[in-house]
Amino acid sequence: MIFTETKIKEAFIVDLELHQDIRGFFTRTFCVQEFQNRGLKPTIAQCNLSFNYKKGTLRGMHYQMPPSQETKLVRCIRGAIYDVIIDLRPDSPSYLSHIGIELTAENRLALYIPDKCAHGFQTLTDETEVAYQMGDLYAPEYATGYRYDDPAFGIEWPLPVTEISEKDRAWSLFESTKIVTPTVT
């Protein structure tokens, strides 16, 4: 496995090391030891599959609050997506930064998403499937998110949004949910 750092602290693009012969290739898509060697959380508590009918479908920007924070390893296994993460960790040097990368069935890349980062994607083709390895169980009582079009993050999605859930459309804006600490004068 080949890990490439991104500008988001502890977020990595994970590429495959193919071992090829006349039959095709073999590769590892996950290895506990390789994740541990980089200080990443190698726990897999749940695996999910998302199927999306239409190009332009948007899912996100989701994350879970403590104590049920999730790491994610996301890979597009059919079609193509534009995958985005936002760093929501106030102590991180990349706080409020975001990255977007194209994950496709052809490039076989994956994106490792640290906990306390919001995640979402937009489909670039019809009939897209996305596989997730989750570091914690889904806990609806801790699930939350921000709007995909929040000006605080300035995400430029590659396509007009064709489909989005009402829940994802209704997430709050970041500015309206920030906790403001009073200043002492």
| Residues labelled as active-site residues | 62, 132
Residues 61, 59: Cα–Cα separation, whole Å: 7
Residues 120, 123: Cα–Cα separation, whole Å: 10
Q: What does residue 132 show for φ and ψ, rounded to 5 degrees?
A: -120, 135
Q: Please give the C-alpha separations between residue 59 and each of 8, 48, 62, 149, 180, in angstroms, as whole numbers.
A: 20, 14, 8, 12, 29
116: alpha, beta or left? (left if phi > 0; alpha if psi -120 to 50)? left
